[in-house]
């Protein structure tokens, strides 16, 4: 049954995306070029609706049993309506946040999806208590927006989301979590069908309808596999989503350093920086795909490592991310503290040899 559902989801996504494209032009859900945008022509931006419709078709076929299933579907509907309204009317940020919070609260309270405690590596537990609900909501809203922020190039958000879904579903197979495997696979098949039209040169964008939905469903699926777990395994979904999370973190740091509002838009996200380095549109997307796949591979290795190895791997990964960020200018072209330290050490080493 699951294989039939995957084929149907993939096929529906391929078949209805051209219809969604026509609908987007008909109702005015289009994206016009401006100084912050990479595209040069008016583009339909309602493609995420095709992903969501295909996803619903797959759910109807396999009808996965889980106490949280209805709440997840309701939360998904809320987030898709929010994205649809934004694609059509360009909602103010506060209304988009309200929709995201409503979707997150739905799965937290109706689906009872919460991170209650974490088993610490050297014994004992970290009890979240009253912070359990805020922490879970922050995770869902944060990942939802992280996927939305990387949706800046043709096929970027869809491809990175697909890689994350492959990793999450693969980890769920190892854990024996059949529900996450089924739902993750359905979303993956629906996204891949849409990606045929969305990869460079794209004929349609997923818009906030798609980016918010993918971010929401990925955040929820990652939580379902890692509730009440060890500190080590709780880091796994953070690594899996390393590309969108790191891009978001560096965007926040960049705005703090430049004394700008956190909500201020700019053209210094990961994909913007790589384009400025001279990579083509297609090359930039493929390189970020490779980064996302690298994070996924690290997550799998990390999940099998012992405590010492896991902490060492995290330290190396953080150092690697910081070096890449400084090298390509993610925090600003003049902000290179780690590279400056390395240059000073190199100069001192040379002087000592002389």
Q: Domain count of the chain?
A: 1
**Angle ∠(100,244,300) on CA atoms, nearest 5:** 115
Give the chain's mean pLDDT: 86
pLDDT tens-place string over residues 155-172: 999 999 999 999 999 888
pTM of the model: 0.88
What's the token pair of residue 337? Answer: 């503290």
pLDDT tens-place string over residues 52-92: 999 999 999 998 888 889 999 999 999 999 999 999 999 99
Report the pLDDT averaged over residues 245-251.
Answer: 85
Percent of the chain residues topping a pLDDT of 70: 88
For 201-267, list the strands marked E by DSSP.
none
Q: Quick check: 46 and 20 in contact, CB under 8 A?
A: yes
pLDDT tens-place string over residues 194-245: 999 999 889 999 999 999 999 999 999 988 866 545 555 567 778 888 888 8
- b/e string for 119-154 if b means 16 or more Cβ within 10 A? eeeeeeeeebeeeebeebbebbbbbbbbbbbbbbbb
Distance (Å, rounded) from C-alpha 22 to C-alpha 66? 36
| Region for residue 285 given its phi and psi (left: phi exceeds 0; alpha: psi -120 to 50; beta: otherwise) | alpha
* φ/ψ of residue 40, rounded to 5: -115, 0
Helices 207-224 and 178-198, axial angle in degrees (round to 10)? 160
Q: Is the pLDDT score of 335 beyond 90? A: no
Q: DSSP letter at 33?
A: -
Cis preceding-peptide flag for 201 (omega within 30 of 0)? yes
Range(s) of the domain holding residue 328: 2-353
Q: Is the pLDDT score of 47 beyond 50? A: yes
What's the token pair of residue 261? Answer: 């509002």
Distance (Å, rounded) from C-alpha 169 to C-alpha 163? 10
């Amino acid at each position: 049954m699951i294989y039939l559902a995957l084929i149907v989801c993939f096929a529906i996504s391929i078949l209805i995306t051209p219809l969604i494209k026509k609908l987007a032009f008909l109702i005015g859900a289009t994206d016009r070029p401006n100084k912050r945008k990479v595209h040069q022509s008016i583009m339909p931006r309602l493609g995420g609706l095709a992903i969501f419709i295909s996803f619903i078709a797959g759910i109807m076929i396999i009808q996965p049993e889980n106490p949280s299933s209805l709440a997840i579907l309701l939360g998904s509907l809320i987030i898709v309506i929010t994205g649809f309204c934004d694609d059509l009317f360009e909602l103010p940020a506060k209304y988009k946040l309200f929709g995201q919070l409503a979707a997150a609260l739905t799965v937290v309270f109706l689906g009872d999806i919460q991170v209650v405690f974490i088993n610490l590596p050297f014994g004992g537990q970290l009890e979240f208590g009253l912070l359990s609900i805020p922490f879970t909501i922050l995770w869902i809203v944060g990942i939802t927006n992280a996927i939305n922020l990387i949706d800046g190039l043709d096929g970027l958000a869809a491809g990175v989301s697909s890689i994350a879904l492959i990793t999450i579903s693969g980890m769920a197979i190892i854990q024996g979590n059949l529900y996450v495997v089924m739902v993750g696979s359905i979303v993956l098949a629906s996204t891949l069908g849409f990606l045929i039209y969305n990869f460079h040169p794209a004929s349609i964008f997923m818009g906030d309808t798609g980016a918010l939905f993918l971010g929401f469903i990925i955040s929820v699926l990652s939580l379902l596999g890692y509730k009440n777990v060890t500190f080590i395994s709780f880091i796994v979904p953070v690594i899996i989503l390393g590309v969108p999370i790191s891009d978001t973190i560096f965007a926040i740091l960049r705005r703090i350093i430049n004394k700008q509002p956190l909500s201020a838009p700019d053209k210094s996200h990961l994909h913007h920086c790589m384009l400025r380095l001279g990579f083509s549109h297609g090359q930039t997307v493929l390189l970020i795909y490779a980064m996302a796949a690298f994070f996924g591979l690290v997550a799998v290795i990390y999940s099998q490592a012992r405590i010492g190895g896991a902490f060492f791997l995290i330290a190396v990964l953080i150092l690697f991310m910081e070096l890449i960020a400084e090298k390509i200018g993610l925090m600003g072209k003049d902000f290179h503290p780690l590279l400056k330290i390395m240059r000073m050490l190199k100069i001192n080493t040379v002087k000592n040899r002389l």
